[in-house]
Amino acid sequence: MPTCEWCDSENARYSNNTVFWELPDGTKTVGITDTPCVCCDACGMEYQTEETVKEIEDQLFLINTKQLEKQLSYVELMEKPRLLKRNYFDFTS
C-alpha cells in the first residue's frame, strides 16, 4: 500500500482514473482513461505518481499526436507506435 504524498496517510491505495493532458505542442488536450493513480481515502486526493507522469509525457512527446484521438485509455496511449526510440531531450536519466 502506498503512503499519500499529500497528507502522509497510510490509507492510500492504487487505482485508476481519467486525466486530461495537454499535448507537448499545446495544440489540444486529450482525455486518458484508466490511468494508474494513487487514491487517498484520508484526504481525498487522486494523483499520478512521478513515474506515471513521466511515462505519459515521454509517450506524448514520441508519438505522432496529429492523429491522436480526443480520448483513449492509458494502455492504448502506451501502445501507440513511437517516432523515436526514447526521449533524447530528457537529460534527467
Q: Per-residue pLDDT tens for 37-83? A: 999 999 999 999 999 999 999 999 999 998 899 999 999 999 999 98
Q: How many folded domains does the chain comprise?
A: 1
- Is 5 among the domain residues? no
**2 within domain boundaries:** no
CA atoms within 13 Å, Cβ hemisphere of 26 = 0
- Note whether residue 91 is domain-resident: no
pTM of the model: 0.86
Contact yes or no for 65/53 (Cβ under 8 A): no
Structural domain includes residue 87 = no
- Report yes or no on 93 lying in a domain: no
Q: Tell me which residue range forms the domain holding 37.
A: 12-78
